[in-house]
Structures are given as structure tokens and as C-alpha cells.
């Protein structure tokens, strides 16, 4: 137990140290979440070993074509994340995770056993488990990176406080999506919980993509504002009885022409003159007109009635302008110029960025703002959980994985958060929905995003041979890439490939004997190029090229090897060589003696650097 080791530590303190510790403990007020990290059974996955990737070619896909940035990493994600911290630190722009929800309902494995509802330390175990992994994940994000985390309603508050602790000051907000259509009849619920949350935390430079901006509608030039504009309706979906303040005749001060209000769709803005002292939240119509934000159509021949009788005749014959309210004082319109057209709201191009940010929920305002004309919004839409189930059925894998996320949800989240060449990481990948979303999104918008999926095997004492990562996550990606249900699939050029990596762990003290060349090659390929590829034969292994520099891994530096290296720059048209090797100084000197200047790096430093262990 962790509390035993804590007690042992305290045994070593003298009285004064103990007193100081007690005062510190009693006076320290912690704002935020508390969980019993010291009381719970240690997470067996925590370790300080060096994690090394081993490529499994047989379980990879289309790897012979070219190095790939798409990775499927098998193993506990604590190890997966430590590997990535060495290879992808600060390089991942978007992380999406859907961790086990801690329902107590056999939804997550901790130290090879499921954590049940009656487990005394259930919440603390779950929080500590996530805390350790989120702390590693934090280091992977680019400065403008974003992490999106799915969670159910029950655990949302706990997770949000944990996220605040790990990502201080980075909270963007949360989204809500509807996971089912019908109500849940389970007696455990006081109400039918049909929604889930996506918590969003991001670095300072992050912005949502907003709507894809087409400027087609912005074809009107405004000389005063020196800007292009398009128009939208100036009315709202309320009747005159629902919003009496917004129902009034509108006058264009420039032409003295009047516009009757549609009793079924009132104006968006109230009128200052009609409101008197009454306060409203939005700007009054008069101000909108003054700021040139209302477009009155040309009215070369407005209607004009010199008497009430004349007006009544026009109304009866259907020739009067629309929306003239016959129930009110008709005399108001006598002697006024009355419009046939409708004024519209002017939306200027330079204001579109702010207007096109996504809404935070699927709850659409009753007076749908898109109709309102003032704001243009982007809604992130999503299918329900059943969409994920049906998709796995279509892929022939319905029995293999319950409750995958709807593809449309992940795709739309990524569409709002990724740029075209981003790396997207999901370290609770499950059935691999995120990988499919990345491929589909690329196909739709021509992007070159790549995916990294980490998945556990879900091995337990009862199912020692289970391999969820290989048989569900990677298998799904294979089927998606091959094409299914009449869909064409993806070529390697379209991102239709991935490297399957298993993780080997080596004690740092034994690293020099236990790390073999294939480990070293893969780790260096990931570190230097963010890509995996089959390990080539030969003593000199080419990792890739940066500008005019060839990057190589070199084992034994015998006479043949030195000769090959000396001829390398000319053979491959390179100006420089960068070589990872066990004895960098020796190799550099030997090549210098042959008149070749190279940069040599310590292989061991490159392999052991950047991972940091768990304590
Ligand atoms: C809720 S599911 C994710 C489902 C996924 N979003 C989908 O659409 O298929 C959570 C996944 O996390 C995996 N998992 C749990 N603990 C893990 C760990 N320590 N390392 C890696 N994966 C883990 C579980 O095996 C499970 O497949």
C-alpha cells in the first residue's frame, strides 16, 4: 500500500521536521479537487523504464509505400504517452479522448481487474489514473494545442476540476451532445439522462475554425465602410403578440418611406422612440440605421393614399403593400409613403470571424438566430451513440466493441479544431473512431492530418489472450482503409496506411545491452521525422533527410562501413551527414581522417532522453 511507504518516509523525520510538516498540512488550504492518491493501490502501469517502440509489420497497413505518421500504439497509454513525450513533445495540436467513465459498471480495467461500483477507492483510483496520463499528455500539445475530453454527466464535475488542475487557465468551455433519442427507462435515474459533455482546454493561441468561409454572398460594396457586405433578414420568428415591443412601423429617415411590420415575424431590434425609457439589451433599430447596418431596398414608386377610403380600396383589391395591419388604426398610413419591399440586415465581411464561432450546445434558440439575421452561427452537429454501433455493424465488427462514439461527433469536433496538417492523438482509442474521422475529414477537405491511436489490449486474468488494439482498433482501420460498404477506401497517398507499434520496456541501467537496433531505428525515426517505417537491412540505416542533410543510424564502424559512409554524400547528393552511433567521437575522428566532416550524435543519449519516469 502507498500509505505504508508514506509512513516509512515519516519514520525518518525528527520531531521538528514532523511539527513543521503538520503546521504546513494544517494551514495549507487547497482550492480544487482532492483525491486520496496516497491511500490507493499503486497504479501498476506507472514505471520509470525506458519505453521503446517495436514495429509489427504484419499488423501494420500499407507500410511498404512510404514512412507513415499514422500510428497505432498497443499497450497501456501511460507507456504510450511516455514514448510520445520523447518523440512528439510539443508537436500534437489536437488530442481527443474518451476515457472510461468510472461508472462502476465494468467500464475500466485497473491493475488487471475491473473497478466495480462498490470499490471503496473507486473515484480516487479513476482520478489518479487520469491525472497521471493527462500530465503526460499536457507536454505533447503545441502552444496553440487543444484537448477535448468526452465525459458523462455524472463524472463531469470531478473531471472538470481535474482538468483545471492539469491545464490551469486553459479552460475554453464544454459542449453538450445528445447521445440517445428515446428515454432511458432505468430506475437508477431520476430523469432520463440523454446527454454527454465534451470538455475543452486549449493553449492561448487556439481558435475554433468557425464556418468555412465562402465570400460568395458578399457582393455589395459599401463606400462609407469600405467593405463588402451580404444581407440577412431583419426579422425574428416571433409574432406581434409574443413580442409587442418589436412590432411597429419602421421608417427610413433618408427617404421618409415607411415599412409595415409582418405580424408573424417582428423586427429584430426594438425602436428607441417607441420604447421611451424602457431599457433593452440589444442596440435599438435607430442606431442600427444610423450605423448603416440596415439596407432599405430601392422604392421608386412607393404606395401613397390620400384618404382612408383610398387605402381601403387598395387593400380590398390586393394592391396595397404587404403587412398593412387592418386591425389597427388605418389612418396612420394615410398621407405616408409606404414600401412594397423589405429592409434587410447588412452583414459586413470583416465581422464574419466573430460571427462564425461554434455554439456550445445542440440546444438551438427557439428564435433560431440564423433566421434572426443578426448573427451567423456554426453548430457542431452529431449523431447519437446508435450511429457508432451501426457503423461498427457495417464494418462487420458490431460484436467486438460496445458504445463507440458516433463518427459524426468526432469528425465535426476535429473539423472545428484541426488545421490541415495537424497530428490528432487519441490515447483511449477503443475501436478507433478518431482514426476513421481523420481519414474521412482529409478525404473531404483535401487535408493531410495524421492520427496516433493508443489502445490497451484489455488483457485481464480472465482473458489473457485478448488484444483489443490489434483485433478491434487496428482491424477497423484496416477495413476502413481497404474500403467497406461500397466505400472506396484510401490509398497510402490519401493517408491509407499505419504503423502498428508494440512497446518494450527496458530498465535504464540495462539500456546499453537491451536496446537493439530495430528499437533504436524506430525511436529515432519517430523523434526526427515523426514517422515510422520498416527497419532497413545493413549496418548503415537511412532514417531520412532534412534539407541537404542525410540522417543515418550506424552500428559497427568497421573499414567497409567507413568507406560506405565516406562515399555517401556524393552518392545521395547530400551536403552533410548526421549520424547516430554508439561512439560518436570515434566515428567523427575516423571520418575526419578520410576528409569527411560529419555531425555524430550519441545513440544512447537520443534513446534515453525525454521520457522521464514515474515516481
Ligand atoms: C470509452 S472507450 C473509447 C471508445 C472510443 N472513443 C471509440 O469510439 O471506440 C475507452 C477505451 O479506453 C481503453 N483504455 C482504458 N484504460 C486504458 C489504458 N490504460 N491504456 C490504453 N487504453 C485504455 C479501453 O480499453 C477502452 O477501449
Q: Which fold has domain 48-101+126-207+381-505?
A: Rossmann fold (3.40.50)
Least confident of 7-21, 26-40, 381-395, 397-411: 26-40
pLDDT digits (tens, 9 = 90+) for 498-525: 999 999 998 888 877 777 888 999 999 9
Nearest-CA residue for ligand 1 atom 7 is: 404
Least confident of 191-195, 241-245, 252-256: 191-195
pLDDT digits (tens, 9 = 90+) for 540-579: 999 999 999 999 999 888 899 999 999 999 999 999 999 9
**Best of 410, 456, 463 to mutate for ligand 1, by most ligand atoms within 8 A of CB?**
456
Q: What integer pLDDT is reported at residue 369 of this predicted model?
A: 43
pLDDT digits (tens, 9 = 90+) for 118-128: 888 889 999 99
Query: Regarding predicted confidence, which is higher, 155 or 282?
Result: 155
Q: Work out the pLDDT band at 365, boundaries 50, 70, 90.
A: very low
Q: What integer pLDDT is reported at residue 85 of this predicted model?
A: 95
* Long-range contacts (CB closer than 8 Å, 24 or more residues apart) made by 484-487: 484/394, 484/395, 484/396, 485/394, 485/395
Q: What integer pLDDT is reported at residue 96 of this predicted model?
A: 98
Nearest-CA residue for ligand 1 atom 5 is: 430
Q: Residue 418 is placed in which grid cell?
A: 484541426
- Which atom of ligand 1 is closest in space to residue 45's alpha carbon? 19
For the chain, helix, strand, coil in percent to 5 are: 35, 20, 45
Q: What integer pLDDT is reported at residue 385 of this predicted model?
A: 86
> How close is the Cα of 426 to the center of ligand 1, in Å?
9
> How close is the Cα of 470 to the center of ligand 1, in Å?
13
- Which atom of ligand 1 is closest in space to residue 473's alpha carbon? 9
Three-state SS string over 503-561 comes to EEEECHHHHHHHCCHHHHHHHHHHHHHCCECCCCCCCEEEEEEECCEEEEEECCCCHHH
Q: Work out the pLDDT band at 366, boundaries 50, 70, 90.
A: very low
Strand 423-426, strand 171-178: pairing: unpaired
Q: What integer pLDDT is reported at residue 378 of this predicted model?
A: 63
**Best of 430, 453, 472 to mutate for ligand 1, by most ligand atoms within 8 A of CB?**
430
Task: Examine the pLDDT at 601 and tell me if it is beyond 80.
Answer: yes
Q: Whose CA is closest to 94, among 379, 422, 376, 430?
A: 422
Sketch the domain layout of the chain as residue ranges: 1-30, 48-101+126-207+381-505, 220-302+339-348, 536-608
What values do phi and psi take at 484, rounded to 5?
Answer: -145, 160
| DSSP string for 179-207 | --SSPP--TT-SS---EEEEEEEE-TT--
**Best of 429, 432, 470, 477 to mutate for ligand 1, by most ligand atoms within 8 A of CB?**
429
**Best of 46, 100, 383 to mutate for ligand 1, by most ligand atoms within 8 A of CB?**
100
CA 612 to chain centre: 26
> How close is the Cα of 456 to the center of ligand 1, in Å?
7
- Which atom of ligand 1 is closest in space to residue 454's alpha carbon? 21
Nearest-CA residue for ligand 1 atom 2 is: 430
Nearest-CA residue for ligand 1 atom 4 is: 430
- Which atom of ligand 1 is closest in space to residue 97's alpha carbon? 6
pLDDT digits (tens, 9 = 90+) for 99-142: 999 887 777 777 777 788 888 888 999 999 999 999 999 999 99
pLDDT digits (tens, 9 = 90+) for 150-167: 999 989 999 999 999 999
Nearest-CA residue for ligand 1 atom 24 is: 430
> How close is the Cα of 118 to the center of ligand 1, in Å?
22
How much is the average pLDDT of 197-203? Answer: 96
> How close is the Cα of 458 to the center of ligand 1, in Å?
9
Q: What integer pLDDT is reported at residue 362 of this predicted model?
A: 60
How much is the average pLDDT of 290-318? Answer: 92
Nearest-CA residue for ligand 1 atom 27 is: 430
Task: Examine the pLDDT at 282 and tell me if it is beyond 90.
Answer: no
Q: How many residues does the chain have?
A: 615
Q: Work out the pLDDT band at 595, boundaries 50, 70, 90.
A: confident
What is d(CA 267, CA 344) in angstroms, rounded to the nearest whole number? 10
> How close is the Cα of 468 to the center of ligand 1, in Å?
9
How much is the average pLDDT of 250-264? Answer: 94
pLDDT digits (tens, 9 = 90+) for 22-75: 888 887 777 788 888 888 888 888 888 889 999 999 999 999 878 999 999 999
What values do phi and psi take at 588, rounded to 5?
Answer: -60, -45
- Which atom of ligand 1 is closest in space to residue 430's alpha carbon? 27
Least confident of 148-152, 231-235, 523-527: 231-235
What is d(CA 256, CA 233) in angstroms, rounded to the nearest whole number? 21
> How close is the Cα of 98 to the center of ligand 1, in Å?
7
> How close is the Cα of 105 to the center of ligand 1, in Å?
14
What is d(CA 133, CA 67) in angstroms, rounded to the nearest whole number? 28
Handedness of CA 338, 342, 345, 348 (dihedral sign): negative
Q: What integer pLDDT is reported at residue 367 of this predicted model?
A: 46
Burial class (CB in 10 A: 0-12, 13-18, 19+), 432: buried
User: Are residues 600 and 581 in contact, defined by beta-carbon separation less than 8 angstroms?
Assistant: yes
Task: Provide residues with CB under 6 Å of ligand 1.
Answer: 76-77, 98, 100, 108, 388, 401, 404-405, 428, 430-431, 433, 454-456, 458, 468
Q: Work out the pLDDT band at 371, boundaries 50, 70, 90.
A: very low
Other C-beta atoms lying within 10 Å of the C-beta of residue 33: 16
What is d(CA 615, CA 54) in angstroms, rounded to the nearest whole number? 25
**Mean pLDDT for the chain?**
87
Task: Examine the pLDDT at 236 and tell me if it is beyond 90.
Answer: no
User: Are residues 578 and 42 in contact, defined by beta-carbon separation less than 8 angstroms?
Assistant: no
Structure pTM? 0.77
Amino acid at each position: 500500500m502507498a500509505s505504508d511507504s508514506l509512513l516509512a518516509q515519516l519514520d525518518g523525520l525528527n520531531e521538528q521536521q514532523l511539527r513543521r510538516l503538520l503546521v504546513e498540512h494544517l494551514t495549507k488550504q487547497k482550492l480544487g479537487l482532492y483525491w486520496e492518491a496516497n491511500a490507493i493501490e499503486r497504479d501498476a502501469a506507472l514505471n520509470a523504464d525506458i519505453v521503446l517502440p517495436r514495429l509489427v509489420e504484419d499488423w501494420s497497413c500499407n507500410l511498404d509505400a512510404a514512412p507513415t505518421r499514422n500510428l497505432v500504439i498497443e499497450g497501456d497509454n501511460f507507456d504510450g504517452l511516455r514514448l510520445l513525450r520523447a518523440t512528439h513533445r510539443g508537436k500534437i495540436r489536437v488530442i481527443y479522448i474518451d476515457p472510461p467513465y468510472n461508472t462502476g459498471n465494468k467500464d475500466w480495467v485497473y491493475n488487471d481487474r475491473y473497478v466495480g461500483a462498490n470499490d471503496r477507492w473507486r473515484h480516487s483510483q479513476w482520478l489518479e489514473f487520469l491525472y497521471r496520463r493527462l500530465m503526460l499528455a499536457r507536454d505533447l500539445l503545441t502552444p496553440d494545442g487543444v484537448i477535448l475530453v468526452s465525459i458523462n454527466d455524472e463524472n463531469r464535475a470531478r473531471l472538470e476540476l481535474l482538468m483545471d488542475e492539469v491545464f490551469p487557465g486553459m479552460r475554453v468551455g464544454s459542449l453538450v451532445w445528445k447521445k440517445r433519442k428515446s428515454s432511458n427507462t432505468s430506475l437508477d435515474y431520476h430523469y432520463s439522462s440523454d446527454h454527454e459533455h465534451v470538455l475543452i482546454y486549449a493553449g492561448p493561441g487556439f481558435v475554433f475554425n468557425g464556418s468555412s468561409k465562402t465570400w460568395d454572398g458578399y457582393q455589395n460594396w459599401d463606400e462609407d465602410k469600405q467593405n463588402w457586405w451580404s444581407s440577412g433578414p431583419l426579422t425574428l420568428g416571433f409574432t406581434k403578440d409574443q413580442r409587442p415591443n418589436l412590432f411597429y412601423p419602421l421608417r427610413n429617415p433618408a427617404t421618409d418611406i415607411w415599412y409595415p411590420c409582418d405580424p408573424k415575424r417582428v423586427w429584430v431590434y426594438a425602436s428607441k422612440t417607441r420604447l421611451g425609457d424602457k431599457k433593452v439589451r440589444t442596440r435599438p433599430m435607430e442606431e442600427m440605421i444610423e450605423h448603416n447596418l440596415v439596407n432599405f431596398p430601392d422604392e421608386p414608386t412607393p404606395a401613397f393614399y390620400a384618404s382612408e377610403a383610398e387605402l381601403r380600396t387598395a387593400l380590398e383589391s390586393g394592391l396595397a403593400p404587404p403587412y398593412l395591419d387592418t386591425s389597427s388604426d388605418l389612418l396612420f398610413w394615410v398621407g405616408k409613403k409606404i414600401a412594397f419591399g423589405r429592409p434587410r440586415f447588412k452583414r459586413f465581411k470583416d465581422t464574419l470571424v466573430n460571427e462564425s464561432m461554434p455554439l456550445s450546445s445542440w440546444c438551438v434558440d427557439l428564435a433560431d438566430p440564423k433566421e434572426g439575421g443578426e448573427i451567423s452561427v456554426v453548430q457542431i452537429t452529431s449523431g447519437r451513440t446508435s450511429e457508432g454501433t451501426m457503423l461498427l455493424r457495417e464494418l462487420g465488427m458490431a460484436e467486438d466493441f460496445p458504445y463507440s462514439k458516433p463518427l459524426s461527433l468526432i469528425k465535426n469536433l476535429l473539423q472545428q479544431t484541426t488545421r490541415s496538417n495537424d497530428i490528432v492523438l487519441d490515447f483511449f482509442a477503443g475501436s478507433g473512431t478518431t482514426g476513421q474521422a481523420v481519414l474521412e475529414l482529409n478525404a473531404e477537405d483535401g487535408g493531410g492530418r495524421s492520427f496516433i491511436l493508443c489502445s490497451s489490449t484489455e488483457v485481464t486474468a480472465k482473458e489473457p489472450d485478448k488484444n483489443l488494439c490489434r483485433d478491434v482498433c487496428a482491424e477497423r482501420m484496416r477495413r476502413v482503409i481497404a474500403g467497406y460498404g461500397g466505400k472506396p477506401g484510401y490509398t497510402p497517398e490519401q493517408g491509407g496506411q499505419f504503423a502498428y507499434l508494440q512497446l518494450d520496456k527496458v530498465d535504464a541501467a540495462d539500456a546499453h545491452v537491451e536496446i537493439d537496433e530495430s528499437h533504436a531505428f524506430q525511436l529515432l525515426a519517430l523523434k526526427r521525422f515523426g514517422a515510422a517505417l520498416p527497419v532497413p537491412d545493413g549496418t548503415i540505416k537511412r532514417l531520412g533527410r532534412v534539407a541537404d542533410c542525410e540522417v543515418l543510424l550506424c552500428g559497427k564502424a568497421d573499414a567497409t562501413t567507413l568507406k560506405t559512409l565516406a562515399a555517401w554524400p556524393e552518392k545521395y547528393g547530400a551536403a552533410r551527414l548526421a549520424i547516430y552511433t554508439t561512439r560518436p567521437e570515434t566515428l567523427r575522428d575516423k571520418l575526419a581522417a578520410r576528409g569527411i566532416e560529419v555531425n555524430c550524435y550519441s545513440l544512447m543519449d537520443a534513446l534515453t532522453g525525454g521520457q522521464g519516469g514515474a515516481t
